Structure 1
């Protein structure tokens, strides 16, 4: 196909074509940003569970296998018990004296310290004789094995002590519990009362010395506070140290600012620093602009007049008059900058000296406090130890006295030990239920963890919520892309739909396909929904402008493998079937794909026109299967693609293409790490960003969007590729 290209300015042509775009797309900042909320609702969790069903099944199977294996390997364990009444049920408190006048007696509920009593029953002194007696029948029993399998507790708030023993031998359990019951009853009559009396005598002998020590230390603390006027020297030291640290931090910050100011003061003394200081002076910059305009006007007038002509002389005279003003303004601005920086340095030095002096004074106070703080802490620690020892001995004496009064009544065996018959473990049903619950929770937790670590998008709503970009189309996953690219399925579906329309419009008898025929065409449904999605994309792009249609656009993606080339090719194919003259330009001069999709040789192409002298008409080739569809391949891959795409010749070609065709589509490399797409986008009506479901990396996509925001590129919208959904199946049924 040969066309005539008119040589015009690419900049002017581009501005003319972009004037009809919606104003919000030209002036407003790009509305994409990552959302901050990571909360999942029930529907999202169900979606994750469905998507990660295999992971959940594997984890549940592994956990259940482990639970079943452990349960089957466990040996049966038996448990038996006996109960002892440690206090009388109805006790007479009339003979128990009150602790003080007007204070109620403390023996209303129980006079026995059960916690202490249980520890005594488990003590080695009491258990040694029991172990020796049991070793006659079971030599493997020792103190630690017996205590580890023995459970002694108080039965609720009652006066009953319950003793339980667990083992895999029920006969051994009966023997051990009988021996323990006899030993505990004997202890309640003999050893327990004797030990309590000895303990009371020992405690009463130690109490006077402990009381004297507490009194002496309290007097020392009182004198220390009076002599040094300190309540808590350690707290005061920490407060002063905190002030020193705060002052040190402030002084360090002031010194950093001072170093920056001095560096800046030294920099503006040189030529480069002076230029930097003058960069934000509006009057100076205005004079520079005026001089440059006069120079440009002079250069322009020289093309029309002689060197010594009057207009040239007038322009040069105006420029000479502006030069003194420029030098005066530069000197004035530079002097003000120097004075400001010098004043700032002086203020910062004064602040630094003041902070250093205050820090030095506080440091002297800190050096005097450690000795006093150490002495005071030593006294407090000694007082605390002595007070705790005194309180502990007083509590022990009271407890022993109460227990001694209660030991006059012997313990009673209210439930004798019985040999167990049913094992208490393993509980197969409980283990399986717990295993099922645990495996389910671990499976769902693993799925949620994998989903949290997954850095890709899996739903259309996720794209829309996070990116805040207009969604132009959702391209379904297509397995039969090679057939579509060859045009076979598209032509067959188009012919089939045309026949159906012609039969319906002619008024002939209604044509109804048999369900078997529909089932045979079901494989074509995948291709049909793919083509319909592309038609939706084409329609949405055309509807972006209310005045005139979009004439040129760039199709790119954040990274490789998102399907941008496939979308560009099929979008061009759809646009051409709708009557538009379409030109598809493969601007990916790094890894071109269009020549593969179109089955066109890539011996010459875009790089041949830009870097060589090949006419553009030579590289524009029309596909034989689709009318009004022209393609320009990349041609030989150049060593510096960005240099070619940023050239003036490329801009001129883009302007000429936009005038000669109804729609020009540029397939460019990915945005991240490459400047190719950003170089071409300003010369078009906008850029379409292609992403891929389950593949596009969030961080890479965010980086691409940030680069577009910095470049102020006009983003037309987002295309989601590789989407799998049943909504297209419902559409296909409706079409049928």
Structure 2
């Protein structure tokens, strides 16, 4: 009778927990925050996952770039060049006109300022007026927008460029500008040079006075503070600090020694050490010992009151006060010597302290003096450089004014361009292609950051510090067969039937063409299940796993499928297996096993029906039994936490070699935590590309407060392509 089995208490009921308890303090190390460091392998995986997004973005962007490029009008450009300084200057003149800042620019002309003058409205007004005679729509702004004036490298040449859609307009505009610039050089340059010389002469006296004032102020600063430079002052202070530190250390060491000697003299051992080094005291002690020896010798011959003994004793009595006086004198001298040394060292220490205080003041004042010195040096340097520039500029201007003025020279005339400069179709398309790819990759990276799932097994292993028990590959054929199994409820086409035939009968009929192709097309999946089962059994070789819970963090991770397939694997390996559908909320096992769900676990808990009526053996697999969920109760948690459920679990564990419980997801539900303490552990199913990382963290928080032994995780839906795997499993390979 079923009742008899209930009366026996299982080991799970006695212990109240699993055989492999896990302390809650160990749980937090299971999960770690995901690292933000990306390596090449992760980046290539991202490109593979987001290939469609990258291709779509690149196609859209390239379409826009191509259309925009082909719609652009052809733009032409021409230029002319002006030599604005003579190239045959004398060497002495070149040396006078070198930039005092040390740059490599040579010559008398400030090119940046000159270019701004050439673009100024005052100079361009006449040019615009002449061009408007031929092109009335031209304005100063439109002319300047298409005009480029620049210095040609480090030469004395200015290049003027103009671009437009009309090649005739380009030639006309450049010819007018070239003629106007040449006239400007003849009319204005001499006047500009003279005005510049007058300005420099006016500024020089003030700059000289400032240089003299700063030099005098710097001299007074050095004399007042004996300050040569910040580095020299810092070295001087550092040297003084080292000397004082050394002296302080020596005095402190000597003080420590003398004070220790002074304290030692107050003790018996110290006095003995001082007396041992006193020669007079030692001589008196020798005499005392001799008298003692004589007295001992005479005692052997005479009586105590004999005259010789009385004489010797009298001598001893006379010698003892002398010894005591000598001892007191020696100790007193020692005390005086040590006290004198201590007093002398303390005086030296006071002097050192005063020196240290003075040095500390100098150290605190050093940053202020250094900053003041630096400011004076900087101001003096700036003033000196300014004076030098003005002096050199005055000499240069005087030479230029005195010598014969040479006008600008047109060394290259404007020409009509033949080929456009834009659009450059190959370059535009190339840049557009690169930009579109980068944009696609950027959008993919953004999507990847927003995506909160694990995509690869390696990423899962890095961030979840639990044993990886198995990796189940994603197989479309297996998934399609499972869906057909749920929809059709046809046992003849079920995956378990083919699987059981493979492991139980091993008949030659499997080598027929159609059946062989179906089986070996699923070779990776079945081998992965075998690896998963083996890893679970090897978790504890001393005490094999007899019961386990298979769950997941969130719905849809494939826990029911893994439970069902793992039960078949264990049964095919010769174990008596019971698969219990403990998901009383959304049961799936009865659909996978093609069984009706009229009664099941909920019926067994809530009624007194025998377990044999609920435990159903799978056809074609003698070792596999299934308990479906039964009718969905209004309060599943109450049933699973009942005493009846604990008794049933004990019965299941005693009756079968392996009991597998398919329970609801952990996040938000308490079902798994109610059953887990009475099993050997929990296996978490994680679906790659689907399971939410935050869901796993919530599952962690749920498991922290329960005495749950988490055996490991199963990575479900791995899409990694392993080279040569399919060929290895082909029956003819």
* 1:38 positional shift: 3.0
Question: Aligned ranges for residues 263-412 of structure 1 at < 5 Å?
Answer: 408-412=405-409
* Of 553, 567, 577, the match for 1:572: 567
Aligned with 1:137 (options 134, 139, 143): 134
- Whether 2:597 is the aligned partner of 1:602: answer yes
Q: What is the DSSP-based 3-state SS (H/G/I as helix, E as strand, rest coil) of the residue aligned with 1:690?
A: strand
Are 1:589 and 2:584 matched, yes or no?
A: yes
Q: Aligned-pair distance for 1:555?
A: 0.5
Task: Describe how 1:417-428 pairs up with structure 2 within 5 A.
Answer: 417-428=414-425
Q: Indicate the SS of the match to 2:80.
A: strand
Instruction: Indicate which of 520, 524, 528 corresponds to 2:519.
Output: 524
Counterparts of 1:655 and 1:183, CA distance in 2: 108
- The Cα of 1:42 is off from its aligned counterpart by 2.5
Distance (whole Å) between structure 2 residues aligned to residue 608 and residue 497 of structure 1: 33
2:46 corresponds in structure 1 to: 48
In structure 2, the CA distance between the partners of 1:551 and 1:568, relative to structure 1 (3 Å rule), is same
Deviation at 1:668, TM superposition (A): 0.8
Whole-angstrom distance in 2 between the partners of 1:616 and 1:97: 112
Provide the secondary structure at the position in 1 that maps to 2:578: strand
**Aligned position for 2:73:** 75
How many Å apart are 1:195 and its aligned residue?
4.2
Task: Return closer, same or farther for 1:208/1:144 CA change in 2, 3 Å cut-off.
Answer: farther
Q: Counterparts of 1:27 and 1:165 in 2: how far apart (Å)?
A: 76
Which consecutive unaligned segments of at least 5 residues does structure 2 have? 214-378
Partner of 1:690: 685
| Larger of the two Rg values belongs to structure | 2
Question: What's the counterpart of residue 179 of structure 2?
Answer: 182
Question: Are positions 1:545 and 2:543 aligned together?
Answer: no
Give the secondary structure class of the aligned counterpart of 1:111. coil
> TM-score, structure 1 length as denominator?
0.67
**Does the CA contact (< 8 Å) of 2:500 and 2:621 recur in 1?**
no
| d(CA) in 1 for partners of 2:85, 2:401 | 12
Q: Residue 456 of structure 1 contacts residue 695 of structure 1 at CA under 8 Å; is this kept in 2?
A: yes
Deviation at 1:212, TM superposition (A): 11
Contact kept? 1:490, 1:531, Cα under 8 Å: no
Q: Report the Cα distance in structure 2 between the residues aligned to 1:672 and 1:658, rounded to whole angstroms.
A: 27
What does residue 443 of structure 1 align with?
Answer: 440
Q: Do residues 491 (structure 1) and 492 (structure 2) align?
A: no
Quick check: 1:678 aligned with 2:673? Answer: yes
Deviation at residue 181 of structure 1 after TM alignment: 0.8
Correspondence for 1:59: 57
**CA drift at 1:484:** 6.5
Residue matched to 2:652: 657
The number of residues matched between the two structures is: 564
Partner of residue 461, structure 2: 464
Tell me, in whole angstroms, the C-alpha distance in 2 between the residues paired with 1:557 and 1:529: 23
Q: CA deviation at 1:58?
A: 1.1
Q: Deviations over 1:132-191 (max 9, x none)?
A: 111111111111111111111111111111111111111111111111111111111102
User: Which residue number corresponds to residue 480 of structure 1?
Assistant: 481
Deviates more, 1:695-704 or 1:117-126: 695-704
Change (3 A) 1:157 1:689: same
List gaps (5 residues or longer) in structure 1.
217-382, 504-510
Describe the shift of the 1:402–1:148 C-alpha distance in structure 2 as closer, same or farther (beyond 3 A): farther
Q: Secondary structure at the match of 1:153?
A: strand
- Pair 1:107–1:649, CA change in 2 (3 A): closer
TM superposition shift of 1:72? 0.7
Superposition deviation, residue 469 in structure 1 = 2.0
- Distance between the aligned counterparts of 2:212 and 2:201, measured in 1? 18
User: In the alignment, what sits opposite 2:7?
Assistant: 7
SS of the residue corresponding to residue 730 of structure 2 reads helix
When structure 1 is superposed on structure 2, of 170-179 and 398-407 the one drifting more is: 398-407
- 2:6–2:647 CA contact under 8 A, matched in 1: no
d(CA) in 1 for partners of 2:188 and 2:564? 99
Cα 1:174–1:396, aligned 2, differ >3 Å: closer, same or farther?
farther
Among residues 189, 194, 218, which one is paired with 1:192 in the alignment?
189
CA deviations 1:268-303 (Å, max 9, x no partner) are xxxxxxxxxxxxxxxxxxxxxxxxxxxxxxxxxxxx
2:623 aligned partner: 628
TM-score by length of 2: 0.67
Corresponding position of 2:120: 123
Instruction: Provide the residue aligned with 1:87 in structure 2.
Output: 85
1:203 to partner: Cα distance:
7.2
Distance 1:14 1:627 in 2: 31
Counterparts of 2:3 and 2:404, CA distance in 1 = 119
Quick one: distance in 2 between partners of 1:698 and 1:10?
A: 37
Query: How far 1:455 sits from its partner (Å)?
Result: 1.7
**SS in structure 2 at match of 1:157:** coil
Aligned-partner Cα distance in 2 for 1:78–1:96: 39
Superposed displacement of residue 667, structure 1: 0.9
RMSD of Structure 2 on Structure 1 (CA):
4.3
1:577 and 1:627 in contact (8 A); partners too: no
1:677 and 1:201 mapped to 2: Cα distance? 96
Tell me: CA distance 1:8–1:18, structure 2 relative to 1, closer, same or farther (3 Å): same
